[in-house]
Amino acid sequence: MITFSVNGKQVNFDGDTTMPLLWYLREELKFIGTKFGCGIGSCGACTVHIGQQAIRSCSLTMAELDGQNITTIEGLAKEDEELHPVQQAWIDFDVPQCGYCQAGQIMAITNFLKDNPAPTDEDIDEGITNLCRCGTYTRMRKAIHHAAALMAKKGA
Amino acid sequence: MTAVQLNRRSFLSYSFMSGALIVSAPSLIFSNPLNAAEAEDDKTISPLIQINEDNSLVFFNPSPDMGQGVHTSLAMLFIEEMDADFDLVSVKSLSYGLRRNEDGKITWKAVPQFSGGSTSVPRNWPLLRQAGAVARQLLLQAGAKHFDTDISKLKTEKSYVINNNGKRISYGELARAAGAEYLKKDFMPELKNRKDWSVIGKAQKQKDTRDIVTGKPLYGMDMDYPGAKVAVMARSPYLDGYVESVDDTAARALDGVVDIVVLDRPDTDKFYTYLAAGIAVIADSFWIALKARDLLKITWNKGPHSEESSASLRQQCDDLLKTNGQIVRSDGNFDMAIAKADKIITRTYKLPLVSHAQLEPQNCIAHVRKDNVTIIGPMQSPGSASRLAAGITGLDRLNFDIRYTRLGGGFGRRLTSDHAAEAVTISKLSGLPIKLIWTREDDLSHDFYRPMGHHEMTAAFDKHGKMTAWAHRLAGTPKHHRRNGETPEEYFSSDLYIDDFPAGLVDNLKVEYFIAKSGTPQGSWRAPAHTANAFVVQSFMDEIADELDEDPLTLRLRLLGPAREMKYDQHGGPIYDTGRMTNVLQQAAKLAGWGKEIPEGRAQGIAGHFTFGGYCALVAEVELMPDNQFKVHKVSGAIDVGIVVNPAGVLAQMEGGINDGLSAALGQEVQIEGGQMINDNFDRYHMMRLAQSVPVIDVHIVDSEANPSGMGEMSLPPLAPAVTNAIVRAGGKRHRSHPLQPVKL
């Protein structure tokens, strides 16, 4: 039995431990905000938080989850509560186009900003490697700087 | 002012659902008028707007949103004329609806439901504004009764009807009464004057953003269907190959596997859509289906194209260009002009196959029942899904239940409904409701690729520098080579736009086409052939400018000449206005500071192109880096798409198209070996990440009175040549082929 938490709720799992976390989230728990894009940990559409790390959930098996705390996009801000500053920045800057990659982008970026509270463009270039075919990168970069400023203000 | 003839109430349908007034599409506005008696019984009407009692509104969007922003821009058209509060509007996809017309032919129930070719805004520009005006009229009539006054004493504003004494009532409160109103027999909806617009032309944020950033189920991949099992396909890895034999014992033994069915390769003459032959594993979950697929022991027949490779395709194009092809446009006397020319310049440019690689892999829910079919998924063309399903099942498609979701990227990939056809086939064979999911490898290996081709360009000049002749010879894989009912003589039309610049501006012109044979499926890829042709023509412009020792912008403006309207017969016509192209080139140059000082080590390149009715010019600012690398620091662009519906949407599409164009040019190339696509995931099919994206994009949106074109594709074609022209001006090499930064596998 593997025990871990998803968005604050404890779950017990005794199924196929070779299954990637992504499919457990999507098909069992119905947290469909975490997207399937490539299955090889390249595009980042499936990014979730595990503890203090941003992880591509298509490439992490159930066997590796015991005792972990997992947060998905659905758990980033509680229902009816204020959105995370990155989510808010995405709305304020009208970032998404097709939007399919954006939950993964936001999960990667929220984690990135914890380690880089005032990132330079170079930090962003290095730290954010998720794929967006629509080409929202230019807008994303602006929104990341904006979100960082919002978070600094809140923290102050 | 536009006015439309309407006859009576029955052109609209009003009904109540959960306390809401549904104002339905006046189908007769959009099609041949029926007589009133027929219309009275017309059960064929689809809702476009739902007015709830709390004054909120739901707009049912007839064009699938794939990121181009039509959920917002099309709602704006309707809401403007309805005079409703745009902040109170939410948007849902309109269920696909068909009806039989008076000739017994199947046609749209309300409005065409389709997204492609940047047509959604121009197509709906009159339709949805008229429908909105009709909705407003009904509310006004109900308001007149409420206030016991004449309509002439009333005005509307932001979802309220306001009496001349200042009293007001909300649309929501009037909804029920409006549903009982009749339109006068000769009612003509009058559309607002442009100066009175309060929604159109004002930057509106995308309606779905909050749902996107909170992870709500929007995409086909997120949809559930009662009882649906997950299907994963093992498709022939060989172009046109098929299953010779299979041992599925181990796969069937896996717990959770429900069924395994074999899909023969369909007759390509019967279905335009190409489908690979293969085997579908149906299971309780994706993961089980995937594991079972790996356990299949399949012997593939390699089919007729197992010798095909990227190298063989290139060789074929090179060889074809040494022969004579099909002359698809000929003006004046090209050969004589060449014989008399003072200067002849010839260059050849090469474009590879590229994949759509939309981030949401193909997927589709299908349920084939005895008498009907349900299809739910990401579709640009639900109509083609409907036709394919009818072909596969033999059922009447009139009442098929077809629902398109938001698309996790379209880019033309989902114009082709092969995913729907596959899901329908699997459901039919298994008798189960099916949710078909493609892996990324499936998606990249079984795409409808953007055609590849070699373009040989020739331009001739007299001793005064006047261009006297132009030739464009293209040998390539035709986009339409598997399309039903199209002859090889017609194939050129999807790969060459024969009225494109500089046609009509040079006396002697020859456009010649050669068909390269290939087993690869070909399809529409954002701005289809414009991506190749803009690169070729706009690169060649700079090479000519270099030969003539002329400024690249000056040369373009000189060749365009005085502003005039040229005929343009293909999609995007009927007119190509040289003045509008000149203007965007000048505006982009002005915005970029063309010819002025820019940061040390950088250079600028310019390109402009006409795509499907829109004019776009871009100036790229580029710095050379070690090892033949380069960095695009900034792109300045000017765009003229006629009247701008949503300036925020235009800006987003400018930015997106510019980055997408750079991504495609930098590293993308589908590689074929032994009749198989070999770079089948993002570790080997290289798409640009944020680090290489354009950090600064400045945009000038032209204020225009022209009817709107779409905006989903226009900014992409000029990007690659603007960049490669800048590289040369920075002292780098001339890139005559893509990818610009090839990746060795």
Q: Do B660 and A23 touch (CB under 8 A)?
A: no
Q: Which chain B residues touch A95 with a CB distance below 8 Å?
A: 209
Q: Is B417 exposed, middle or buried (0-12, 13-18, 19+ CB in 10 A)?
A: buried
Q: Can you tell me the distance from the alpha carbon of B213 to that of B210, in angstroms, rounded to the nearest whole number?
A: 5
Q: Which chain B residues touch A46 with a CB distance below 8 Å?
A: none
Q: Is B722 exposed, middle or buried (0-12, 13-18, 19+ CB in 10 A)?
A: buried
Using CA coordinates, name the residue in chain A closest to B363.
A36
Nearest by CB: B67 against A31, A134, A137: A134
Q: Residue-wise over B645-661: b if at least 16 C-beta within 10 A, else e?
A: bbebbbbbbbbbbbbbb
Q: Which chain B residues touch A103 with a CB distance below 8 Å?
A: 212-213, 215
pLDDT tens-digit readout, B581-613: 999 999 999 999 999 999 999 999 999 999 999
Of the pLDDT bands very low, low, confident and very high (cuts 50, 70, 90), residue B271 is low
Nearest by CB: B652 against A35, A97, A128: A97
A67 touches chain B (CB under 8 A): no
Residue spans in chain A of domains classed CATH 3.10.20.30: 2-75
Mean pLDDT of B550-561: 98
Q: Is B577 exposed, middle or buried (0-12, 13-18, 19+ CB in 10 A)?
A: middle
Of the pLDDT bands very low, low, confident and very high (cuts 50, 70, 90), residue B38 is very low
Nearest by CB: B655 against A35, A38, A138: A138
| Nearby residues of B305 by Cβ (< 8 Å), 6 or more positions away | B238, B239, B240, B518, B519, B675
Does the structure show a pLDDT above 70 at B727?
yes
pLDDT tens-digit readout, B660-674: 999 999 999 999 999
pLDDT score recorded for residue B111? 81
Mean pLDDT of B557-579: 97
Residue spans of beta strands (DSSP E) within B81-158: 89-93, 98-100, 106-108, 155-157
Neighbours of B484 (CB within 10 A): 11
Mean pLDDT of B5-18: 38
Does the structure show a pLDDT above 60 at B7?
no
Q: Can you tell me the distance from the alpha carbon of B61 to that of B47, in angstroms, rounded to the nearest whole number?
A: 10
Q: Is B152 exposed, middle or buried (0-12, 13-18, 19+ CB in 10 A)?
A: exposed
Nearest by CB: B681 against A32, A42, A106: A42
Does the structure show a pLDDT above 80 at B361?
yes
Does the structure show a pLDDT above 60 at B25?
no
Distance from CA of B395 to the nearest CA of A (A): 32
Q: What is the ipTM of this complex?
A: 0.98
**Mean pLDDT of all residues belonging to chain B:** 91
Of the pLDDT bands very low, low, confident and very high (cuts 50, 70, 90), residue A98 is very high
Fold (topology level) of B220-304+362-437? Aldehyde Oxidoreductase; domain 4 (3.30.365)
Mean pLDDT of B237-256: 96
What are B372's two structure tokens? 């009907």
CATH, domain A85-155, list 1.10.579.10, 2.60.40.10, 1.10.150.120, 3.40.50.1820: 1.10.150.120
Q: What residues form DSSP beta bridges with A48?
A: A55
Does the structure show a pLDDT above 80 at B321?
yes
Q: Which chain A residues touch B406 with a CB distance below 8 Å?
A: 98-99
Helix%, strand%, coil% for chain A, nearest 5: 40, 15, 45
pLDDT score recorded for residue B269? 58
Nearest by CB: A141 against B214, B215, B695: B695
The reply to whether B9-213 and B220-304+362-437 are identical in fold is yes
Q: Can you tell me the distance from the alpha carbon of B406 to that of B219, in angstroms, rounded to the nearest whole number?
A: 5
How do beta strands B575-577 and B565-567 pair? antiparallel
Q: Can you tell me the distance from the alpha carbon of B481 to that of B472, in angstroms, rounded to the nearest whole number?
A: 21
Q: Can you tell me the distance from the alpha carbon of B724 to that of B732, in angstroms, rounded to the nearest whole number?
A: 9
pLDDT score recorded for residue B31? 29
CATH 1.10.3210.10 for domain A2-75, yes or no, is no
What are B288's two structure tokens? 């089980």
- Which amino acid makes up residue B323? T
Listed by start position, the domains of chain B span 9-213, 220-304+362-437, 310-354+448-729
A23, A126, A137: best to mutate for the B interface, most B CBs within 10 A = A137
B698 touches chain A (CB under 8 A): no
| Nearby residues of B598 by Cβ (< 8 Å), 6 or more positions away | B604, B621
| Domain B310-354+448-729 -> CATH class | alpha beta
CB B727 within 8 A of CB B735: yes
Of the pLDDT bands very low, low, confident and very high (cuts 50, 70, 90), residue B99 is confident
A48 touches chain B (CB under 8 A): no
Q: Do A98 and B693 touch (CB under 8 A)?
A: no
pLDDT tens-digit readout, B423-445: 999 999 999 999 999 999 999 99
Q: Which chain B residues touch A99 with a CB distance below 8 Å?
A: 67, 208-209, 212, 218, 406, 408
Mean pLDDT of A62-69: 97
Fold (topology level) of B9-213? Aldehyde Oxidoreductase; domain 4 (3.30.365)
Distance from CA of A109 to the nearest CA of B (A): 12
- Is the link from the previous residue into B718 a cis peptide, with omega within 30 of 0? no
Of the pLDDT bands very low, low, confident and very high (cuts 50, 70, 90), residue B268 is low
